[in-house]
Structure 1
Amino acid sequence: MVDRTYRWLLVTLAVVGLGADLGSKYGVFRWLYKDGNFAHGVGNEYDVVPGWFKLIAQFDREVAVADDGFGDLRTWSTNGDPVMPRVNHGALFGLGQSRKGLANGFFAVVSVAAALAILVWGTRPHTARERGLMAALGLILGGTVGNLYDRLVFGGVRDFLYFYKIEWPVFNVADCCLVVGAALLLVQAVLVSPPAETPPATGETVTPVPVPESPKV
């Protein structure tokens, strides 16, 4: 009997998480571009829940745009004046933000290592049989690759979700995938028992031993 695996769940959640992250980043920054002709939003922010939560897209005209082939992916322009989104060079909650290039390169290397580790971990037969674990790894992989894309293309991570009522650090969909995936991983480690190992089949058949009949009287 073939063991059920959940590798498809890892791949599906990674692709959905990555698509949601990159799509939301592009859509929000394009929509709230302050010099663009858009129907909604005021300036470069939009209140979703007034007094609590808003979308915010900041741009930096002082950052020089390098001609490295990524220009059309990361800039918006008015009258030929290109601008780039303002990015977080550090990690979650702005960790390492002050060191900019050094921090961005360091966390990019960490992201590559984490993505490779997840792919290797997810291919193990024992891991693939655990649905919760594969879901957690899929979310973490999607969030990791989403922020890695930003680090390689933009030199930092685009953040736009802001709970300003409590002054929560600005974050993005990839961060949500990472936090939810890490929480699922913790629950899986603490509360869920791993499935029992299935003994390998030997291919040998057992021949039943006939029971001698009792002599008739």
Structure 2
Amino acid sequence: MLVFFFIILAVVGIDQASKAWIIAHFALHESVEVIPGLFNLTHLTNNGAAFGILAGQPALWRQVFFIAAAGIALVCIWIAQRSFSPRSRAYTVALALIAGGAIGNLIDRIRWGFVVDFLDFYLGQSHWPAFNVADSAITVGVALFIGYNLLFDRQ
């Protein structure tokens, strides 16, 4: 359990620190090219879900939905942690990454009503939707969970 909570705290800390740095050093929509033709740091906000889903919905409904969904997800992660972790530390790491990412974005939603995004990858004029450290932790956690399950733990 100590590893589980340490990873969660690390993800939330890195996520919130990186967002605070972006907010302090970049104006909204300001962009700095880091790797030409591939990667920018760009201060954006997203009041919807992934890819801006639900962004056009009324603010109160959207906030209640996202906070409730995060709460339900965190309860499910806690239950999964207690079920899967005894089988492998990989599950502990995966679920902690997902939980840390969910908490990082939940803090933004409660604090500001939107999520701060700033990692902007692209090729030419084709941009992947901007994301943040919390989104990355969720993606890596889900990939680790599924990958470990498919490759090593077929129960």
> Structure 1 length as normaliser, TM-score?
0.64
In 2, are the aligned partners of 1:90 and 1:104 still within 8 Å (CA)? Answer: no
Which residue matches 1:31?
A: 25
Which residue matches 1:21?
A: 15
Question: Deviating runs (4+, > 3 A) in structure 1?
Answer: none
* Counterpart Cα distance in 1 of 2:40 and 2:4: 31
> Structure 2 counterpart of 1:116, which letter?
V
2:81 to 104, 116, 122: 122
Q: What is the Cα-based RMSD across aligned positions, in Å? A: 2.0
Structure possessing the higher relative contact order (Cα contacts under 8 Å, 6 or more residues apart): 2
* Counterpart Cα distance in 1 of 2:58 and 2:103: 19
SS at match of 1:160: strand
Offset of 1:100 from its aligned partner? 4.9
Unaligned runs of 5+ in 2: none
SS at match of 1:164: strand
2:36 to 26, 50, 58: 50
Larger radius of gyration: 1
Are 1:190 and 2:150 an aligned pair? yes
What percentage of residue pairs aligned between the two structures are identical?
33
In 2, are the aligned partners of 1:13 and 1:142 still within 8 Å (CA)? Answer: yes
Which residue matches 2:117?
A: 159
* Counterpart Cα distance in 2 of 1:100 and 1:89: 10
* Counterpart Cα distance in 2 of 1:100 and 1:158: 19
Unaligned runs of 5+ in 1: 1-6, 35-42, 59-86, 196-217
Q: How many residues are matched?
A: 152
1:138 to 96, 99, 119: 96
Offset of 1:45 from its aligned partner? 1.6
> Structure 2 counterpart of 1:46, which letter?
V
